[in-house]
Amino acid sequence: MKRRQFLATAGAGVLTVTLSGCSLVPVIPKRPTSTADDALGWIRHDNGRYTLWLPSAEMGQQISVALQGLAAAELGVPPAQVHLQLPSTRHIARVRATVGSASVQDFALPLARACATLREALAQGQTTGTLAARDIAPSALRSLQPRTGVTKEAAAAPGQLHALVTGQPLFAGDTRLPGLLYGRVLRAPMSAEITSRPQAWDETAARADPACVAVVQHPRLAQMGSLGLGIVARTPSALDRIEAALAVQWQVEDGSAFEQTAIDERIDIDTHLHRGPLQHRLRKDEPPTDTAWTLDLRMDVPLAAHAPIEPRSATAQWLADADKKDIALKVWAGTQDLFYMRDVLARQFSLDAERIEVQACRIGGGFGGRTLCTVELEAAVLAQAVGAPVKVQWSRAQEFAQGFQRPPSSHRVRAHVQGERITHWWHALASSHILFTPAAMPVWIQTLADLAGDSGVARGAQMPYDVPQQRIEFTAQRLPVHTGPWRGLGAGPNTLVVESAMDECARLAGADPLAWRLQHTTDERLAQVLRRAAAEARWPERPASDATTLRGRGIAGGIYKGVSYAAAVADVEVQRATGRVRVVALWCAHDCGLVLQPDGVRAQTEGNLVWCLGMVLHEQLPVARSGVAAASFADYPLPRMGDVPPLHVHLIDSSAPPTGAGETAMVAGAGAIANALRDATGVRFARLPVRSADVLQALSTRA
C-alpha cells in the first residue's frame, strides 16, 4: 500500500490490521454493511423447517436468542421452530465482525426484511427457488414495532441453553476429529513487543517422551517480535512434559528489558502537558490564559485484562486430497470475525480465500479480545507440519501474556465553575493504542496511523454535558506491552474520569450531584436515564454513617457511541477499622432504543456493572520482568460472587431504533461507584484500583 493510499484509508476510520507474520503488508478487515438480500442467506426454509445461520458471534451476549426471536416474530412462528446454526465462511456471505455492541444495530433490520420476504413468499405458495428481498419500511415490520413493558419477557426458545447445561460440544475447545493431535507454541517469557527467538533446546530429551510427535520451527510462528517454537503431542497432558524437557533458551534483543515504571513514565499526563499541546484534539477551544481553575484533578487507570472464562482455542485440519478448487484448510475457532481469520490464513499460506473454511464456535467471553489471528494461525502451521489435525488451546498464563490488554491511561481534568455552571473544561489524557493495536501494527505503520488518531482511545472523552468552552485532547503512546480493544474501548476509563470530575464540580458549587448533571444537559434521553436511576434508588434517602461504617451514595451517567444511554446509582460501605470497601447496591437505567430481548439486555447490563466494580476496586494487571506478570486468577484479582451487590436494572421503553447494549453501562457504573466512595470517605481516589490499604491511608491522613 502506498503511503498516500494508507493515509486515505486511515482518515476514513477503517484502518484495523492483523498480525502480519512474514508479510510487511497488513491484512485489512472488510466491514460490509449487510443488506436484506444478504440476510436471505441467513434464514432458510426447507420442508417446513426454518434454519437461522447466525451472522453474529455468540459469546454469551444472547444475540442468538435475540435474532432467533426476531426471526420467529417476523415469520409468525414460535421461536422453537427457528433452528439456530453457527455458520462457517461457506454458509453465509461476508459480514462485519462482532464488535462495538453493534449486532442488533447491524443485523436486525436486514434479517426482519428477509424474514418478511420469506413469510410472504410462503403465504403465496412459493416453496422453492431463491427470493429477492423487499425494501420494507421498519414501521411495516412486525418484529420491530415499539412495545411497552420491556420488563415482561416474551416467550423464547432455549437456543443453546440445553446444550450448554448438558455439556454438548459448542466451543472451539470441544472440537474432536479422528487422529487429532495437540499443539502449543512456546515463546520467550516476555512481551511480544520485544524481539525474541529460540536459541537452543534439547530436542532429544523431548522426543524421548513417547507422546511427542514433533518439534516445529517455522517463520509463520511469529507473533510480532516473538518467534515461537512449536510442539505437537498425542495428548494434551503431554505438552507440559515436552515443554519442560525441551528447556528452551531464548535469544532476546539487547536493552529491551522494562518494568512497570517504564509504562507509567510513558503515559504520564503531566509529562506530556509539560511538552505542550497533545497530538489530537476533540474540542479545540482555547481556555483563557487568566482562567483560575476551580478544579484540577489528576486520575490514573491501570492496565487491565479481558480475563475471559475460556482461554482461546482453535483446531486446524489440512485436507490432503483436495484439488485446487476444494477446501484445503478447515479451522474451528471461537472468533469475533470469521472472515478476517480466513483472510489472514489465506495471506499466510498463499491460498485463495475460498479454499479456506473457518467454522464458528461459541465463545466463552470475547470482549474485543478475539479479533486477531493468533491460535488459528498456530494451529494451521502445526497441522501442516505434521500432516494431521491439531488443536491449540492457550493456557491461562498464555491468555494473560500473549493477548492484548486494556491500555492504562493518565488524565488531568481542569474546570472552572462560576455560579451554578461549568464555564470552562479541559480534559487531557495519555494512553496507548486500541483500534491501532500494537499487537497487530508494526511501529512504522502505527507511526503513520497516529496521524489520524485512534478513535478507540478517544471514545467517551467528549463529555455529554453542555459546557460552553471545552478543550479535549489526547495522545496515544506505544507501550512495551500490547494493548487493544477491551469492553467499551476508552469509554470505561474516560467516562469514569469525566463523571468523577463532574462530581467534584458539583461539590465545589454546593450542588446536588443529580441536579448538577440535569442542569448541564439538554439531551432528554440522558436526563431520562439519570432521573430513572435516581428514582429507583430513592436518591434523596442517603445512607448514613455510624461509628464503625462510613456510607456513601454516588451517581453517574453517559452516552455510549452517541446512541445508547445509561445512568447508575451506587451505595457503598467502608469499614473504618479495616478500610474494606463494599458496594451494597447498584441501580442502572438503560436506554438502547427498541429492546428485542429484555433478558439479554439485562444480563449484558449486569455484566457491565460487574466490570465497573472490578475497574474501581479490584483489577490491575501486574507487569514485571519485561512482560505481564499474571499467570492465573490468583495474580489478577477479579470481583468474586461475594463482592457483587444486588443489581437493579431498569430498561427504558423506547420507540427509537435498536442500538448497542453490550457495553453501554460502562459509561455509568464505574463513575457511580467512584463517586459513592468519595461521598463516604470525603476523599477522591486518584489512582485505581482502590484497595483497603489505600482507604486506610487516606482516612488516617484526613483525620
- List, for residues 543-597, the tens digit of each pLDDT value: 999 999 999 999 999 999 999 999 999 999 999 999 999 999 999 999 999 999 9
54-58 average pLDDT score: 96
- List, for residues 349-380, the tens digit of each pLDDT value: 999 999 999 999 999 999 999 999 999 999 99
| Burial category of 76 from C-beta neighbours within 10 Å (exposed 0-12, middle 13-18, buried 19 and up) | middle
> Rounded to two decimals, what is the model's pTM?
0.94
Instruction: Please tell me whether residue 605 adopts helix, strand or coil conformation.
Output: helix
Residues 654 and 528 sit within 8 Å (Cβ to Cβ): no
Q: What average pLDDT does the chain have? A: 93
459-478 average pLDDT score: 97
Instruction: Please tell me whether residue 224 adopts helix, strand or coil conformation.
Output: coil
Question: In the structure grid, which three cell numbers stand for residue 206, read together?
Answer: 523431548
Strands 390-393 and 356-360: unpaired
Q: What is the pLDDT of residue 625?
A: 96
The 3-state secondary structure of 11-38 reads: HCCCCCCCCCCCCCCCCCCCCCCCCHHH
Q: What is the pLDDT of residue 25?
A: 62
From the options 2.60.120.10, 3.30.365.10, 1.10.287.130, 3.40.50.300, give the CATH code of 172-254+312-393.
3.30.365.10
Lowest mean pLDDT among 319-323, 342-346, 538-542, 672-676: 319-323
Q: Is the pLDDT of residue 336 over 50?
A: yes
If you classify domain 36-165 with CATH, what class do you get? Answer: alpha beta
- List, for residues 390-439, the tens digit of each pLDDT value: 999 999 999 999 999 999 999 999 999 998 999 999 999 999 999 999 99
Q: What is the pLDDT of residue 1?
A: 31
Q: Is the pLDDT of residue 308 over 80?
A: yes
430-458 average pLDDT score: 94
381-389 average pLDDT score: 98
Q: Is the pLDDT of residue 86 over 90?
A: yes
- Residue 453 vs residue 161, higher pLDDT: 453
Q: What is the pLDDT of residue 320?
A: 82
- List, for residues 2-42, the tens digit of each pLDDT value: 333 333 333 333 333 333 344 566 788 898 999 999 999 99
Strands 421-431 and 409-418: antiparallel
From the options 3.40.50.2300, 3.40.50.300, 3.30.70.2860, 3.30.365.10, give the CATH code of 268-305+405-702.
3.30.365.10
Q: Is the pLDDT of residue 281 over 60?
A: yes
Q: Is the pLDDT of residue 75 over 90?
A: yes
Q: Is the pLDDT of residue 527 over 70?
A: yes
605-613 average pLDDT score: 97
Grid cell 434454519 is found at 51
Q: What is the pLDDT of residue 439?
A: 94
Residues 409 and 267 sit within 8 Å (Cβ to Cβ): yes
Q: What is the pLDDT of residue 158?
A: 63
Q: What is the pLDDT of residue 321?
A: 73
Instruction: Please tell me whether residue 296 adopts helix, strand or coil conformation.
Output: strand
Q: What is the pLDDT of residue 149?
A: 62
Q: What is the pLDDT of residue 289?
A: 77
172-195 average pLDDT score: 97
Q: What is the pLDDT of residue 325?
A: 74
Q: Is the pLDDT of residue 160 over 80?
A: no
State the Cα–Cα distance between residues 360 and 372, nearest whole angstrom.
15
Amino acid at 441: M
Q: Could you tell me where in the chain the CATH 3.30.365.10 domains are found?
A: 36-165, 172-254+312-393, 268-305+405-702
Confidence class for position 703, pLDDT limits 50, 70, 90: confident
Residues 467 and 425 sit within 8 Å (Cβ to Cβ): yes
State the Cα–Cα distance between residues 573 and 399, nearest whole angstrom.
34
